[in-house]
Amino acid sequence: MAEMWITMGPQHPMTHGLWTLRVKVDGETVTDTEAELGYIHRGVEKICESRDFTQITPYCDRLCYVSAMTWAHAYIMAAEDLLEAEVPERAEYIRLMAAELQRIASHLMWLGAFGPDIGNLTLMTWCLRDREMFLDLLQELGGSRMHYNYPRVGGVKRDIPIGWADRLKAKVKLFEHRINEYEMLLDESTIWLVRLQGVGYATAEDQLNAGVTGPNIRAAGVNTDVRWTNPYSVYDQVDWEPAVEKPTSVKGADCYDRYRVRMEEMRQSCRMLLDAIGKIPGGHNTHYSPGDEMIQSKAPTRAPEGATGTSTYECTRGVSQFYVQGGGDGRGKYPYRLSIRSPMFITIPYVAKTMIGYKVADIPAIMGSFDPCIGETDR
């Protein structure tokens, strides 16, 4: 039968954003693929060359609207490396909790968007309902629902409000039960299992060589996680362990393993949150005013020429990395160059190639299981 190219996207329910997947098909079988990106390239790296180190934070929030807090945190860590800023421990705890709340919210958004891909519309409404709890908590910290602009060089913008800890505990405990509900819904759904099991295999070594990281690689049976391999923040002081899934085939993890590992990761985030809120230095029912040395230390605002800063960060979709060079315009007030490593930018071309050999109907399942986000991909 003659082969032909089909263009899926840029407007397609499978794409979760604006990008194009060109698929070469032979009947129903995918024989070749090509990813095309760049539809929403905003030039963030160029814009950042004329913004000072605090002004860059909102731009990094907007890299990924589903996971704003982790991206801002990753950037701030690179800026702190460049500016040699110390961070008070209380601020590190607050950042950790904010990042883990964001991780849960991001995974919920992923699950909610993944469900309709597979044919389970209930999931969207359930996940958005629960995500609201975490957005409310984050809103109390940052003041807005999606783009918080919350971390600062040397700390955080403001302290946790009075009563936030109680609301956090109640919501996290409720959500731990809700995860069980999700699993009861999904793991006993024939449609869910049939469409996810046995498609989209990817081994750990292949994925790492191709630059695929994060939950996708932990689904293939290794517990490598930047939070312990390249430690940052106070992850060594709170109770958690990396989520891992046992793959069922020598061919590596399938879509079902990637779903399982994200569910487990949400549980681990809950565990971390409950532990961190009890250990936070200064107590969880105190409130320090903005700029207090408990939550933000003094940091220089200019970086000399030749200084560089990097951060390696476990973002919700994989390892994100920032690289900042000092000595830009305004006598070092702006960075000379800021570079962003987006996990999804590297992952999407790899995922496009893993689809070869499967059916056209498997494309949404495979693509969705890797959790694509186009905002961070195109930058």
Partner 1 sequence: MGMTISKEQNTTAVSAVVKSLSDRFGDAGITAEAIAHKSGKCFDFVRIICLPDQWRAVAKWLHSEANVNHCSMITGTHFPEGTTERGWEVAIHLHRWPIVNVEPHTMTVHDASKLSGNDVPLEIEVFVPIQSGDSPSIPSVQDLWVGADWNEKETWDLVGIDFDGHINMHRVLNPHDSPIGFHPLQRQHKIRYHDFNEMYDDPQGFGRKPVDEGRVK
Stretch 302-361 residues interacting with partner 1 (CB under 8 A): 308-310, 312, 319, 321, 323, 325, 329, 336-337, 339, 341, 345-346, 349-350
What are the residues whose beta carbons fall under 8 Å from the beta carbon of 67, sequence distance 6 or more?
Answer: 102, 103, 105, 106, 315, 316, 317, 373, 376
DSSP 160: P
Give the footprint of partner 1 on residues 33-52 (CB under 8 A): 37-38, 41, 43, 45-47, 49-50
Are the C-beta atoms of 82 and 307 separated by less than 8 Å?
yes
Q: CB of 25: closest distance to partner 1 in angstroms?
A: 21
Of residues 78 through 107, those in contact with partner 1 by CB under 8 A are 80-87
Judged by beta carbon, residue 119 or residue 357, the one nearer partner 1 is 357
Q: Confirm or reject binding of residue 301 to partner 1 (CB under 8 A).
A: no
Q: Which two tokens stand for residue 327?
A: 């000595």
Task: Please list, in sequence order, all residues whose beta carbon lies within 8 angstroms of the beta carbon of residue 3, skipping any fewer than 6 positions away.
Answer: 24, 25, 26, 31
C-alpha 142/C-alpha 158 separation (Å) is 8
| CA–CA separation, 172 and 154 (whole Å) | 28
Nearer to partner 1 among residue 210 and residue 294 (C-beta) = 210
Consecutive H or E run containing 36 = strand 29-36
Place of tokens 């900042």: 324
Judged by CB under 8 A, the residue of 209, 285, 286, 301 near partner 1 is 209
Q: Is 372 in the site for partner 1 (CB under 8 A)?
A: no
112-171 binders of partner 1 (CB under 8 A):
none
Which residue's CB is nearer to partner 1, number 144 or number 312?
A: 312
- Pick the closer one to partner 1 by CB: 69 or 272: 272
Out of 93, 150, 240, 256, the residue judged to bind partner 1 by CB under 8 A? 240
Q: Please say which residue, 38 or 119, places its beta carbon nearer to partner 1.
A: 38
Q: How far is the CB of 322 from partner 1 (least distance, A)?
A: 9
What span, in angstroms and rounded, lies between the C-alpha atoms of 311 and 153? Answer: 13
